[in-house]
Amino acid sequence: NHYLQNAHVYSPYTPYQAEISQGRLEMLYHYQSIVQNITQMDIAVASLIDNGQVGMDLLTLMTQKTKKRIVYVQDSINVPLMNCLRMRANHQNIELKTFYSVNQLACLTDNDKLKECAGIFIQTPTMLGTLLSCHALENLKTRFPHLLVACHSDLMYMTQYSPQSTHIDFMFGNG
């Protein structure tokens, strides 16, 4: 349901602070539910944390969970996010390697370079507007199930195109 259909949102009644807080929590909960439905992920979190912070937290989570220090990042990921990932990687001695496309990553499976990889950051649509085909990603996850995949995406994009989240572990972006 659309939150503006809720009369409590635009009522002329002047609420107390506790009622305002309750209303904000309720709207965050409904927003989370909408995001969960759009992304088709098991869990959705609505927060005030920006993309850069979420990306840095995911980078740390990937390396701590897998105990590996290499993470591949798509080279056409948005620049502010890439800067944040580089900063966190620098502070935590994580090696970031860039790749052009998921198909290029698939070539790395031939010599098993991805065995030492903690995870992959992708973005769709890319900062150039191209869409990512997840067929090669499916093959990667089949061969290397330990790989954690984080996808930076736009919520408006996902309302128009069905998200291919079956092989994506984390999806984040702006609402």
pLDDT for the residue 109: 66
pLDDT for the residue 145: 87
Give the residue from 45, 65, 58, 112 showing the smallest Cα distance to 85: 58
Long-range contacts of 14-23 (CB under 8 A, 24+ apart): none
Based on C-alpha coordinates, what's the Rg of the chain? 19
- Specify which of 29-43, 68-82, 156-170 reaches the highest per-range mean pLDDT: 68-82
SS3 122: strand
Q: What is the pLDDT of residues 71-127, one digit of tens each?
A: 999 998 999 999 999 999 999 999 999 988 777 777 776 667 788 899 999 988 888
pTM as predicted: 0.79
Share of the chain above pLDDT 70, in %: 83
pLDDT for the residue 163: 58
